[in-house]
Amino acid sequence: MSKRKNTIIIICFILVILLGAGAATYPLIASINNERTQSLVQTEYEEKLQQLDTSEIDEALKKAHEYNKTISTVQIEDIDKIKENLPDYEDLLNLANNGIMGYIEIPTINIDLPIYHGTTGAAMEKGAGHMEGTSLPVGGVGTHAVISAHSGMAGAKLFTDLDKLKLGDVFFVTVCNEKLAYEVDNIAVVELTDIDLIRIDTQQDYVTLLTCTPYGVNTHRLLVRGHRVEMAEEAIAEVEEKVVPEGSTWIEKYAEGLVIGFIASFAAMLLLLIVLLIRRRQKKKTGNIAGSERK
């Protein structure tokens, strides 16, 4: 019976260790799978655009610019008041018929994400989302597009490393085969309800990247704004090739989790060893007492 109990204890501890190992490796495996899916989606988007006539792409861009011109006449908090006069948001720039309007590339933090319509849960789990009510990310003076993504997700990096960006860093937004470059000129942390920094400036072409902060707390918003800069294809390629990504917050947190998991597993094995030694000593002591009584 005692031997059976020892076996059960050993099995339980082994299961705990295996579960811990599974929990430790899940974020990395999920992140790799997520990035692979995002890459496939982006490839599919580009392939579908190649199948379209130039006139179809030009028409889509024309409608997007018209939409931007219309919403520039009202404050962002009043967009709902003119929605009935606007085309269906989901149809704009949806040339691939999969909800993707383009993708965003941030070389400094090694990010390349599809941009979906809206910031609903479904869209944000798969990549970045365009904030409805802000300008569509097709560029132009008097526009201010906002692109949002989650931070701190266990199975996906997304915008977790957005806090690594610095003034002067460049990111790219690609829509309808047009790659637009933006240089970071403002970084701010604001309250969740503060929208002053995402309003349109009639003299500027802005894109703001948005995520929640601090890591794992999410009580505020981190806003990283960039203004449009003209860059030749050669200059864009040079930025993409030469930029060395900063250390990743997501990787740092994952490493911390691995260390904690290792310590917990080591403690569990040590505890198992102690329990077995105590039980063996007690069994030996009981046997010695029984032997003495028989004498």
Output the CA torsion sign for 180, 95, 159, 144: positive
Indicate the angle between helix axes 249-294 and 2-50, nearest 10 degrees: 170
Query: Can you give the pLDDT at residue 47?
Result: 85
What tokens does 101 get? 């309007």
Which residues lie closer than 8 Å to 210 by C-beta, 6 or more apart?
Answer: 131, 146, 147, 148, 149, 159, 198, 221, 222, 223, 224
User: Would you call 81 exposed, middle or buried from its count of C-beta atoms within 10 A (0-12, 13-18, 19+)?
Assistant: exposed
Query: Can you give the pLDDT at residue 286?
Result: 64
Rg (alpha carbons) of the chain, rounded to whole number: 27
Query: Can you give the pLDDT at residue 117?
Result: 95
Half-sphere exposure (Cβ direction) of 57: Cα atoms closer than 13 Å = 16
Query: Can you give the pLDDT at residue 295?
Result: 52
CA–CA separation, 87 vs 91, rounded Å? 8
Positions marked active-site: 150, 212
CA 158, chain centre distance (Å)? 2
CA–CA separation, 131 vs 255, rounded Å? 32
CA–CA separation, 251 vs 28, rounded Å? 9
Domain range list for the chain: 21-254
Mind listing the pLDDT tens digit for each residue in 45-62?
A: 888 888 999 999 999 999
Q: What is the DSSP letter of 143?
A: E
Place of tokens 């937004």: 173
DSSP strand pairing (128-130 vs 111-117): parallel
- Residues of the chain falling short of pLDDT 70: 1-6, 8-10, 12-14, 16-35, 37-38, 154-155, 240, 242-266, 268-269, 272, 276, 279, 283-295
Query: Can you give the pLDDT at residue 1?
Result: 47
Q: What is the DSSP letter of 96?
A: T
CA–CA separation, 32 vs 157, rounded Å? 10
Q: Coil, strand or helix: which one is 292? A: helix
CA 144, chain centre distance (Å)? 21
CA–CA separation, 60 vs 123, rounded Å? 21
Output the CA torsion sign for 4, 10, 12, 14: negative
**What are the DSSP calls for 51-74, one per residue?**
TS-HHHHHHHHHHHHHHHHHHTTS
Q: Which CATH superfamily is domain 21-254 in?
A: Sortase (2.40.260.10)
